[in-house]
Homo-oligomer: A and B are copies of this chain.
């Protein structure tokens, strides 16, 4: 009988801070990193998961993954994979570990990474990419995978079944359409704060010629600078391309309303993370204050309970799920169901390390089997670090092509993991002294 033989965790970091890729008003010098987990069965099967971080602290997620992994080791593989809802409850509601969240931050992320390695294993066994596995699960199976604890005053199991049964109509046609044409993307590649004007303009124009209908700019450092960059970007892309702006939680509530107002002449499509993503009531105030600019958030939303309230409070126009912030595929199914119930589009957050590879599956699943709509929906795309993955995203004419290989997309090349394992990998040796930016003794 197959059992979980090991849960192996590696600390993988890339020295992206050297290039200011990924810089914004809050994340000024990220070293894009992954806490990388491999679940191996006694039969030698493997499933892969990861959690994205910004460098320092990757070791903490790794420690938490080891603690959750220990709860799985020795268990029967079939029993786990046949009921991933139970597997999720086993980890999330562990009577002692639960105190450290509950259901937030390091714990939720680490749980999600480990659970996703199980989903990867399940999808590989089925020979399907995750999105297709999910799309072909029955409404009952999907509902059984979700933890409805603390959701039921907004979404009950029965309501979720209704959503999924409605979503089943036309599913086969939509799956065929996705396999033929993929899913809309938007790109953040031009918009990092650390880029020069020339680079901003050049990358913005390239985005349009590459077929993207929307780009995104980081804002929130300096208002005059933001006005300058926003004008350059608008001139570069013309009036018909959407420009999202993203403040990475930089502002107070009133400040957000004023700042967005001062950028309104350049017609931003949405303001993303205007303030703390814990601030549900603040987002509701901001949404009222910046309309018709839309409010988007989610990459730092801790769990389904916070998303529930953002929807109940009418605080967001766009739900930006993230593939490694919450407790894995299970909780993102919950998030997609919540969005469908409230009629809010899901536009996933991506970028970082592996986030594009993972999160695309939820939009494909959403279109195939839940909302059935691609209107006002797009998956973020950033052209970073895909070369390290065995099944990298494929983008054509501003669209994600449908993932076709079995699994969730988290597997990295062994050579990449070896080279960029921190701190001992050969890549870090080459980076040499400049690697000090990530060291624990850094200030």
Q: Which residues of A are at the interface with B, using a C-beta cutoff of 8 A?
A: 26-31, 53-57, 59-61, 63-64, 67, 70-71, 73-75, 90, 94-109, 149-150, 152-153, 249, 252-254, 275-276, 278-282, 285, 300, 302-303, 305-306, 308-309, 312-313, 438, 440-443
Is the pair A61, B150 in contact by a Cβ cutoff of 8 Å? no
Is the pair B98, A64 in contact by a Cβ cutoff of 8 Å? no
Bound-complex Cα distance A280 to B30 (A): 32
Is the pair A441, B73 in contact by a Cβ cutoff of 8 Å? yes
Is the pair B150, A279 in contact by a Cβ cutoff of 8 Å? yes
Residue of B nearest to A63 (CB): B63
Is the pair B252, A279 in contact by a Cβ cutoff of 8 Å? no
Is the pair A98, B26 in contact by a Cβ cutoff of 8 Å? yes
Bound-complex Cα distance A373 to B97 (A): 37
Residue of B nearest to A150 (CB): B276
Interface centre among A27, A249, A253, A281 (most CB of B within 10 A): A281
| B-side contacts of A302, CB under 8 Å | 104-105, 278, 302
Is the pair B95, A26 in contact by a Cβ cutoff of 8 Å? yes
Interface centre among A104, A108, A442 (most CB of B within 10 A): A104
Is the pair A64, B309 in contact by a Cβ cutoff of 8 Å? no
Is the pair B305, A61 in contact by a Cβ cutoff of 8 Å? no
Is the pair A150, B282 in contact by a Cβ cutoff of 8 Å? yes
Q: Nearest-CB distance from A226 to chain B (Å)?
A: 19
| New A-B pairs, 12, CB < 8 Å, besides A61-B100, A150-B278, A281-B313 | A26-B95, A26-B98, A53-B96, A56-B96, A56-B97, A70-B440, A73-B441, A102-B300, A106-B106, A106-B107, A150-B282, A279-B309
Is the pair A27, B95 in contact by a Cβ cutoff of 8 Å? yes
| B-side contacts of A278, CB under 8 Å | 103-104, 150, 302-303, 305-306, 309
Residue of B nearest to A61 (CB): B100
Bound-complex Cα distance A441 to B71 (A): 6
Q: Nearest-CB distance from A243 to chain B (Å)?
A: 25
